[in-house]
Amino acid sequence: MNPFTKHTGIAAPLDRVNVDTDAIVPKQFLRKIERSGFGKHLFHEWRYLDYEGTRENPDFVLNKPAYRKATVLLTRDNFGCGSSREHAPWALADYGFRVIIAPAFADIFYNNCVKNGILLVALKSDEVESLFKQVTQKPGEQVSADLEKQTVTAPAGKPYHFDINPFAKTCLLKGLDHIGWTQQFADKIRDFEQKLTQEKPWLV
């Protein structure tokens, strides 16, 4: 996955609490294991007026002209709750989102997003509310995220600090999922296995 350092993009305000993973990508689309192609199914039941996805719902935020190219998602408390399906971050990433801002996230969803290069920013409720006001009053406004400094900068220019797990931060900065992180130590793992084979052959 691509390393994450800084990102600036249009922020789309999804004003809903407790958005679960089935709402992010409904179960009927979980038929393949590739990570690509899920963006068209993102928020399917909210984005479309029909099952086939041919008639857009004009009232849904991502269908509004100002937010169609959004790469920052602003939402409410407990985003990503529900089942642990990794297809949810796949759909968000495939659509184009790099940053999601909310007061709180479901734990498993948070970890899945880190593994897929999406930065999740937990801010205080009043800070999130301020961002909502700014991006709804002026649709198309941009929000910036700086992972190294751990700041999010509002359209008005005010920075907000956020906390992040050091390991998650390192993985995002280096563009590594957990498999990629482990592969950094391939030589040490190989040396350990060879030494173990020599010292304790009965374990092989």
Nearest to 19 by CA among 106, 80, 69, 101: 80
End-to-end CA gap in the chain? 34
Are residues 27 and 143 in contact, defined by beta-carbon separation less than 8 angstroms? no
Alpha-carbon distance of 131 to 163, in angstroms, equals 18
Mind listing the pLDDT tens digit for each residue in 86-139? 999 999 999 999 999 999 999 999 999 999 999 999 999 999 999 999 999 999
The domain that holds 134 is classified in CATH as 3.20.19.10
Q: What is the pLDDT of residue 175?
A: 86
Total of domains in the chain: 1
68 lies in some domain: yes
81 lies in some domain: yes
Alpha-carbon distance of 12 to 63, in angstroms, equals 10
Its domain, for residue 138, covers 6-203
Alpha-carbon distance of 60 to 26, in angstroms, equals 16
Percent of the chain's residues with pLDDT above 90: 75
Percent of the chain's residues with pLDDT above 70: 90
| Token digits of residue 182 | 């482990």
For 6, the 3-state DSSP assignment is strand
Helices marked H in the chain: 21-24, 44-47, 87-95, 107-115, 125-137, 166-174, 178-183, 186-199
**What is the chain's mean pLDDT, rounded?**
90
Q: What is the pLDDT of residue 31?
A: 80
Mind listing the pLDDT tens digit for each residue in 61-80? 999 999 999 999 999 999 99
Look at residue 57 and tell me whether its pLDDT is greater than 80: yes
157 lies in some domain: yes
Alpha-carbon distance of 172 to 4, in angstroms, equals 5
Look at residue 196 and tell me whether its pLDDT is greater than 70: no
Contacts of 24 (CB under 8 A, 6+ apart): 42, 43, 80, 88, 91, 92
1 lies in some domain: no
Q: Note the maximum CA span of the chain.
A: 70
